[in-house]
Amino acid sequence: AQSVTQLDSHVSVSEGTPVLLRCNYSSSYSPSLFWYVQHPNKGLQLLLKYTSAATLVKGINGFEAEFKKSETSFHLTKPSAHMSDAAEYFCVAPSGGYNKLIFGAGTRLAVHP
């Protein structure tokens, strides 16, 4: 069965500095993986998804993630944080049948001036 582990519950960065949100997965087969973001009082929004086409995946708002099989990781990065990036980020994997999503615990990103 697939599972995802987000290594940090909270990350705090200064505006303009890089963002790194870490996610490790475990799967008995080649997974698909997603990053979702939730802004306050908003629904979960898909940032990007990996489906084995390319290991470096670009998403919305300047975010990207790299799938590293050797490290079983799918970390989310952004070169320069913006105040509007403050939100909760979830690393997510679909179940084997793709009928449901399996969520990591979430990482709350704070961006300060």
Summarize as ranges the residues that interact with other proteins (CB under 8 A): 36, 41-46, 49, 90, 94-95, 97-106
Residue type, 24: N
Rounded CA separation 48/71 (Å): 20
Min CB(106)–other proteins separation in Å: 7
| Contacting residues for 4 by C-beta, under 8 A, at least 6 apart | 23, 24, 25, 26, 33, 74, 91, 92, 93, 102, 103, 104
Min CB(99)–other proteins separation in Å: 4
Smaller CB separation from other proteins, 19 or 91 = 91
Smaller CB separation from other proteins, 64 or 103 = 103
Smaller CB separation from other proteins, 13 or 63 = 63
DSSP state, residue 97: T
